[in-house]
Chains A and B, each alone.
Chain A
């Protein structure tokens, strides 16, 4: 598995929760937004988004409901739950710490005190 695939796999849930924290979205919309906002970096096999979403629903991180706007097809919209928001906050902080540490290491410096205490 390439480094990009490993990063993508480890961050998929965080990315999905981040998008859903803005507004409820359906699967196709999520896949398009993930690809668009990351300029294709986080484009994933679209079908695999659904097992991830369903697993997250079983874990109580998201809820879903079928909606049909006038003249549009019926779609299943996912929304972030309170538990999901909490988890998004924790994971975002963790990623922030990770990125700070990685940047510091790659630049040959040391981890700042703020990043150390964020954990």
Chain B
């Protein structure tokens, strides 16, 4: 460990260097480790150590890069699965609406017909809210919802199956 004045932010930066997760996940992980370090420093200082020694001891006990690598390993597959599910769900909604509910025979469907149906809006809102509430990552939810609308627009512009 370098002899310069160490801060909790320096310690957290070493852990962050091992993380390649969403900013929200990284923020939460580091906030949890920060609280841990603050508690450990407080206890070490109460036991008589000066602030720098207390922080170095706390950092060593936490493990820095090793904990960063372990956290990355735990969260990375989970995040990837979230992203795939969150993006696939709206696409699936659009396909089910178009081909199974509104016009299973492949007949044309215009905007007026589409937007007048409550079922469309229920699915459209669900396609936004389900990923947002389930995964709590608004970027995934908005990206997925954009795909939902893109597919819906394509269906309206090219409404007849024979055009596909």
Contact = CB atoms under 8 A, between A and B. Distances in A.
Given A28-B39, A28-B40, A73-B38, A47 B74 contact: no
A110 to B, nearest CB: 42
Contacts of A76: 31-32, 35
A58 interface: yes
Nearest to B35: A75
Interface residues of B, number: 22
Contacts of A27: 32, 35-36
B158 to A, nearest CB: 42
Interface residues of A, number: 17
Contact of B74 (A46, A55, A73, A74): A55
A46 B71 contact: no
A47 B62 contact: yes
A48 B62 CA distance: 7
Interface in B56-111: 61-64, 66-67, 70-71, 73-75, 78
Contacts of A54: 71, 74-75
A31 to B, nearest CB: 8
Secondary structure of the B side of the interface?
helix
A2 interface: no
A55 to B, nearest CB: 5
A54 B78 CA distance: 11
A6 to B, nearest CB: 18
A47 B64 contact: yes
B142 to A, nearest CB: 24
Contact of A50 (B38, B64, B71, B78): B71
Given A45-B63, A50-B29, A50-B67, A58 B78 contact: yes
Nearest to B68: A47
B61 A45 contact: yes
A45 to B, nearest CB: 5
Nearest to A45: B63
B35 A73 contact: yes
Nearest to B62: A47
A48 B66 contact: yes
A43 B49 CA distance: 21
7 contacts: A27-B36, A28-B40, A47-B33, A47-B61, A47-B64, A51-B71, A74-B35
Interface of A: 26-28, 31, 45-48, 50-51, 54-55, 58, 73-76
- Top 5 A-B pairs ranked by shortest CB distance? A47-B67, A47-B63, A47-B62, A51-B70, A28-B39
Given A46-B36, A47-B66, A47-B67, 5 more contacts: A31-B36, A47-B63, A50-B67, A54-B75, A73-B39
